Structure 1
């Protein structure tokens, strides 16, 4: 059973700002974000933080020394957490870290590569990668170590800053937040199956259909024994270290008793099967906005199509965007296999090459860079080929583009299945597609007027839904209810 203390009162600031999107005069809240490393987590937190800032709230981000300025350049304040804790020798046997790379995202990337997550495994077999008994590189061990290094500073900062709310996008929750007196919310930047964990829905990370339960029972059984059990172990290791109670054995993620947040388009969501609890805040997607203040090249540049690509486009030659995400792009062999297949495609292709840029060979119908401003590219293209990361899926949906999803691991399988079920694209195994299969699928989608119209209409509805502002309003309401 999870024990927690409800807070006694909020700290309200004397200054009051008028929300830019609302006529309501809410008092300014101080909100601190704690995000996992990785572009998907950070972008989701930034997207929500931007909307909360528009509503007049004061936004802080916990940050590491290696990333100083990352959030400040977007207009947020930063609280720098220095990794100065020492891990006991007994813990080193269970907690594996790599100190060769000072960049935190580089460490996470290397952990994922070592863990075999990018290998050609079925979702069922991938559960072994999430089993701490079978995988010495299980990422939970590294997160335990990371949290222990900064836990004391987080606790001290919360005591000094006295925020009204802490929003956490971390697979493990620091005990000083989970059992503290300050209200907190879990931000789920994954497919919402992670948040729901309902027996009415397919198992998390399975990629199984919602309308056919064959395979559910076996997957659920293995999931509980591997991923769920391993995460519980890691959370309990943290809890015991800080003299906090163990977590509920039936839970997967450590959810907040206050409220929880997720982003997923209504057109894809599972609300046709389950009913959301009152303390769940849903929005169509976190979709971060381009900064209007920073001069940083990566974050603030618009995208101009290269002339050699632009001049080739026509009614029959379309524009495609291809990305396997931050981690998927590190699999050079797989990336090159897909690029070689796309070389025979009659259309023009923009390629997000990631950190493997120098190792990849692009054909004449392609343009690629290690970093591309995805939000500026999506409005320009006719089709997106993606790994199925939650941010890319929700952002692509918001611009009304059909997708071919090539899932690699975890919730990407669930997103791929849901997109296919709801008629917004197709899924294909990135490791095992046959020659010409991908190109045929591209042609099929580009000629499917019904699917294209369905995607366009969904994008129009999402952009008009104002769901981020509505989510912020609900967050304010939930906090006010707690105060009363």
Structure 2
């Protein structure tokens, strides 16, 4: 096996760290010596899994599972508040804000990272690196140093702009999200500018190494070995026989047992509805409140389980024996027991819901969530609502339609998910390497 020593590098984002950790454990289970590089906040979780920990900071902002209440520099907190406000103005304004933030968010001190990765490679003698797609400075550093790496893409595959697509501009939109052509053109202009700035920074650094070629798009720079998508191959794009391989794993999480206290709380024959907007977007208290009231109106006897983040206390007035509102819920452990998941369209929640074959209502706010919502709508796997403009009746209709709709397609992709996972990609990479 050529890839004996593998170094995974994770951004300090809870939603990216967890699937990468599962991937790291799979590499270790298949015989590799694994080191996991991340910020110090994640050390305990890494050491608990008997992986080697290496402290490395690759982002100025962090999400360690507590959303906007994670410790952030003042500038990062201000940008978070700007992001939350933009989500209230709609899809295009949110994506424009995110695009403008990208340089500060995702292009963190590349020269320092080049030096750090050079030191890591010389001291640890690494055979293969695994880098998250959003860790652009790390990708740049590995490319500059001509080190072998695999790209891991936890969000939607369109996060990597291909075939002349625009960075951070959805290829397609779900029907519930109305976008004016004038606004879309503005988004494309901002995207083009961000892409140009990123690529110029990349090529300025790349020029210092005469043995490598300049690039045309920094956001499209990926591994020449393999790209692993934590997603489903809805469009038959997988490539296993050529480089770079493109592997769709369908999920990258581990089952967790639900504790006795929660088991007792969910013991009911009534419908169970989970409402979860993720660690960041649970900031949208107004949407959570509307979802609680709307779901309760249409399904008065259902058990509602709400992940409310920092607004849990403020929303306690809606608590009842059949309305559980918590700052944090054991989502992965609860997923097998609920009937319907109402969420923001984040990829982790999507893959968990698909793995367990759950009905889905998606309210996309930002990032890749519009692409995910479009796919789910096109595949008839769920219903999509506009988080800023949905009505009580629209949620009731969505829930009712899901209850009555055929589940054949959902069962098909559930089976695909269960046949794949992190082990699928790891075997493909290590077996090719050993041939």
Instruction: Give TM-score, length-normalised by structure 1.
Output: 0.75
- In structure 2, what is the Cα distance between the partners aligned to 1:180 and 1:332? 45
Q: Deviations over 1:415-455 (max 9, x none)?
A: 1111011011111011101133212321221232x1x3432
Q: Mind listing any 5+ residue stretches in structure 2 that lack a counterpart?
A: 63-67
Residue 249 (structure 2) aligns with: 284
Q: Which stretch shows the higher mean deviation, 424-433 or 146-155?
A: 146-155
CA contact (8 A) 2:344 2:365 kept: yes
Hey, what does 1:182 align to over in structure 2? 147
In the alignment, structure 1 residue 352 sits paired with structure 2 residue 320:
no
In structure 1, the residue matched to 2:424 is: 470
Q: Aligned ranges for residues 238-249 of structure 1 at < 5 Å?
A: 240=204, 244=208, 248-249=215-216
Corresponding position: 1:391 with 2:348: yes
Does structure 1 residue 336 correspond to structure 2 residue 300? no
CA deviations 1:164-201 (Å, max 9, x no partner) are 111111341333312223201221111111236236x8
Aligned residues: 418
**Partner in structure 2 of residue 441 of structure 1:** 398
Q: Is the 8 A contact 1:191 1:411 kept in 2?
A: yes
Kindly indicate whether residue 119 of structure 2 is the aligned counterpart of residue 156 of structure 1. Answer: yes
- Check conservation: 2:69, 2:310, Cα contact below 8 A: no
Deviation at 1:403, TM superposition (A): 0.6
CA 198–373 in structure 1, closer or farther in 2 if over 3 Å, else same: farther
The one of 459, 468, 471 aligned to 2:414? 459
Residue 226 (structure 2) pairs with residue 259 (structure 1) = yes
Q: Kindly tell me: are residues 28 and 284 of structure 1, through their superposed partners in 2, closer, same or farther at Cα, counting changes over 3 Å?
A: closer
Partner of 1:429: 386
Which of the residues 25, 39, 43 maps onto 2:14? 39
Q: Post-superposition shift, 1:233?
A: 1.6
107, 115, 119: which one pairs with 2:87?
A: 119
- 2-side partners of 1:101 and 1:467: how far apart? 31
- Deviations along 1:99-131, one digit per CA (max 9) or x if unpaired, are x98846998676333235752344334342144
Equivalent of 1:327, from 274, 280, 292? 280
Check conservation: 2:158, 2:171, Cα contact below 8 A: no
| Alignment root-mean-square deviation, CA | 3.7
Matching of residues 121-140 of structure 1 within 5 Å: 121-132=89-100, 138-140=101-103
* SS state at 1:31 partner: strand
- After TM superposition, the structure 1 = structure 2 runs for residues 195-210 of structure 1, keeping only pairs within 5 Å, are 195=160, 197-198=162-163, 205-206=169-170, 208=172
Q: 1:257 to 1:453 in 2, by over 3 A?
A: closer
Gaps of 5+ in 1: 1-25, 84-94, 133-137, 292-299
Tell me which residue corresponds to 1:233: 197
Q: TM-score, normalised by structure 2?
A: 0.82
The residue aligned with 1:75 is 50
Q: 1:66, 1:104 within 8 Å by CA — same for their partners in 2?
A: no
